[in-house]
Amino acid sequence: MRRLTSLTGNSQKLDGGAMFGNAPRALWERWMIPDAQNRIDLGCRALLVQEHERNVLIETGIGAFFSPQLKERFGVQEERHVLLDSLAEQGLSHVDIDVVLLSHLHFDHAGGVLAPWAEGQPARLLFPNARFLTGRRQWQRARAPHARDQASYIPELLDLLEASGRLELLEDDATSATLGEGWRLHWNEGHTPGQLLAEIAMPDGPVVFAADLVPGAPWVHLPLTMGYDRFAEGLIEEKQALLEHLLACNGRLFFTHDPSIALGRVVRDERGRYGLQDSQSHLVQLSH
């Protein structure tokens, strides 16, 4: 049996122009209304996959590791580590997680691996019983970042992951021995080198954790990219390939950053434009 459950993490407010790249505000504010500081609401949603008597957590969101000053700078809304509360609602804690799969190592996707900030205390890892999986090329990027994305990585987190003895770096393969059957990995470069998207087989079509290739429902529109993406044209090509794959297999996208939509099935209209149907704000699904 496989069970998929969406988990809410800490939310953010980030600049709408940065999140929508070269799209003008007159266009993107139809989808997400900015505040007085031009910021839009964003989520940091994780996906819990329970199977074969193990708990796999895909991403951990931004968490609560930032100091109060940095928390304000990056628009983190809650004081507590919200993902831990969401796990508790499922009768779990971070010690019950067997695998943490990180699409990439930017702080808004991997920061939740760290315990909440405490004055005068060093950073420390949560999830003491988990193996941490991420791509080898993304790890190399994080260890030697470009000036453009250096601030997106957490050096202390990288040191702690390496010292844990539980870090597994994945090659650019479609499968992983650790994840096993029913899992497929997609690799892309447009947002950051070696970003991996996990595809989980389900009876009514697979679910792909879209990470920052498609951060939310509006970005299903093919031309939309983020200002944070390193190579917008390449990302669009990668996105189109994934959307075509999901169309062919009746698949769905799972969104980490969309504040209100967790999941939607990929469709295409008569004009060739991609969209979603059967959107859900929360996901709980069982497979026998």
List, for residues 19-44, the tens digit of each pLDDT value. Answer: 999 999 999 999 999 999 999 999 99
| pLDDT attached to residue 287 | 79
Structure confidence by residue, pLDDT tens digits, 179-233? 999 999 999 999 999 999 999 999 999 999 999 999 999 999 999 999 999 999 9
3-state secondary structure 104-170: CCCHHHHHHHECCCCCCCCCCECCCCCEEEEEHHHHHHHHCCCCCCHHHCCHHHHHHHHHHCCEEEE
Q: Over the chain, what is the mean pLDDT?
A: 97
Q: DSSP letter for 217, please.
A: G
pLDDT of residue 23: 96
Distance of alpha carbon 169 from alpha carbon 166, whole angstroms: 10
Domains by residue range for the chain, with CATH: 2-287 (3.60.15.10)
Chain position carrying tokens 């390193």: 230
Nearest one of 222, 176, 182, 230 to 202, comparing CA atoms? 182
> What's the confidence (pLDDT) of residue 285?
85
SS3 letters across 44-95: CCEEEEEECCEEEEECCCCCCCCCHHHHHHCCECCCCCHHHHHHHHCCCCHH
Helix-then-strand count for the chain, H and E: 8, 15
For residue 185, what are its two tokens? 């990995």
**What are the phi and psi torsion angles at 80 (to 5°)?**
-85, 170
Is the pTM for the entire model greater than 0.95? yes
> Distance between CA atoms of 218 and 257, rounded to whole angstroms?
11
Sheet hosting strand 252-254, strand order edge to edge: 183-188, 195-200, 207-209, 252-254, 263-268, 274-280
Residue 71: is its pLDDT beyond 70?
yes
Angle, CA of 128, 133 and 139, to the nearest 5°: 115
Task: Note the pLDDT of residue 90.
Answer: 97
Give percent of the chain with pLDDT exceeding 90.
98
Q: Residue 243's pLDDT band (boundaries 50, 70, 90)?
A: very high
User: What pLDDT is recorded for position 45?
Assistant: 98
| pLDDT reported for residue 288 | 55
Indicate whether 157 pLDDT > 70: yes
Report pLDDT for 200.
Answer: 98
Checking if the pLDDT of 274 tops 60, the result is yes
pLDDT, residue 12, reads 97
Contact 245, 258 (CB under 8 A): no
List the strands of the sheet with 54-58, edge to edge: 167-170, 131-135, 99-101, 54-58, 46-51, 2-7, 284-287
Q: How many CB atoms lie within 10 A of CB 77?
A: 13
